Amino acid sequence: MSEKSKKIFIEKGEYVIRFKSPENKETTCYDVLRGKVVVPSGILDDKILYKSDGMPTYHFANVVDDHEMEITHVIRGEEWLPSLALHWLLYESFGWKKPKFVHLPLILKPVGKGKLSKRDGDKFGFPVFPIAWKNDEINIKGYKEIGFLAESTVNFLALLGWNPGSEKEIFTLKDLENIFSLKALNNSGARFDPDKNIWFNHQHIQSLSDEVLKNLLEESLIEKNIEFNKNKTLLIAKMIRPRLNLTTEVFSHSKYFFSGPEKYNTKAMKKLCNEKTPLLLTEIQLCLKGVKKFESSEIKKALEKFVEKSGLGFGKVLGLVRLAIIGELSGADLFDTMSLIEKDACIERIEKLANSIN
């Protein structure tokens, strides 16, 4: 291009500024995970640093910004590895001290090939944002709103591509601060496992203090405008703890403590109920009415005597009682549950099941 043509373009502002890559030379870079990375100049083009609108490109702004903020470690995904040589050369051109570069392995899809994407969250039903993401068109819950603890999520993410050198999996943030090392990172990608993520959350919920769990339960009850006895919520929180995978499940796993079941498990009804069941439930009611001190151990003794006298199986009787009290064949300890619900409410629920069979 002639000098005259150049001048016209410059005066009009129709130009870009490029980085002049070295010719016939290898650029040697260093990555914490991969060691020495050698890039031949033949594969480097002259990247644009300033666009024609006067705005810097990411490559240029990124290097200047990191230098100005005195960044010591640039940690990013391995898809940025091809840009390392350009960034390395920019630091050298300015005569600036280079940060340490760490190009992490990618987090892979739960199933199939390729890296994890936001679309995979929709497909497999797990969150992709840390907190709720809202705008005029979408309203998506994040990990926090769905019921994941921050500690458990950090623990899970830390073990994607990092190995502590032992079989231990559960770490507090303080643990990770003490033992985490960039040198222990893996070079290969790690598959994202939504089920394992929930398992980590379950483990961390088991470590929550009783008071924190109690507060979570009470907040949920207040939100749903449900009356409760503050003297009982701590006991209830302790009882449902082993069943919680998410903090948002505190109500779904405890609602039978506050009201009787609105419906009964269909499979359980077919398995346990027949034309003789209403009479059997009436006899169980009479048995429970005779329990003077309605506590867990006394309820158990009374029902054991009833089973022995009736000749029925203990599992059959307890199954019916659990179905009447909870609506399901699973839940917290039955006798402790009945003690908290109290005698009148238990008898009323058993009667309700009997009437629903008629």
Q: 3-104 architecture in CATH?
A: 3-Layer(aba) Sandwich (3.40)
pLDDT by residue (tens digit) across 205-220? 999 999 999 999 999 9
Structure tokens at 315: 């599992």
Structure tokens at 144: 């926090």
Question: What pLDDT band is residue 235 in, cutting at 50, 70 and 90?
Answer: very high
Burial label for 169, CB within 10 Å (0-12, 13-18, 19+), is middle
* Angle, CA 253 vertex, CA 199 and CA 196 arms, to 5°: 10
Location of structure tokens 């009833």: 306
Of the two residues 311 and 307, the one the predictor is more confident about is: 307
pLDDT at 314 (0 to 100): 87
Distance from the Cα of residue 55 to its chain's centroid: 39
User: Domain residue spans in the chain?
Assistant: 3-104, 118-183+191-205, 210-257, 266-357
- Decide: 192 and 109 in contact? Cβ < 8 Å: yes
Q: 266-357 architecture in CATH?
A: Orthogonal Bundle (1.10)
pLDDT at 117 (0 to 100): 86
Please give the Cα distance from 338 to 24 (Å, whole number): 82
Does position 204 have pLDDT exceeding 70, yes or no? yes
Structure tokens at 14: 């129709």
Reference 322, options 305, 301, 299; nearest CA is 299
Entry pTM: 0.83
- Decide: 318 and 326 in contact? Cβ < 8 Å: no
Please give the Cα distance from 98 to 224 (Å, whole number): 55
- Decide: 341 and 325 in contact? Cβ < 8 Å: yes
Could you please state the CATH topology (level 3) that the domain comprising 118-183+191-205 is classified under. Glutamyl-tRNA Synthetase; domain 2 (1.10.1160)
pLDDT at 358 (0 to 100): 67
- Decide: 60 and 49 in contact? Cβ < 8 Å: yes
Please give the Cα distance from 160 to 169 (Å, whole number): 11
Please give the Cα distance from 54 to 12 (Å, whole number): 12
Q: How many residues does the chain have?
A: 358
Location of structure tokens 């109690």: 214
pLDDT by residue (tens digit) across 38-75? 999 888 889 999 998 889 999 999 999 999 999 999 99
- Give me the amino acid identity at 93: S
pLDDT by residue (tens digit) across 179-192? 998 888 888 888 99
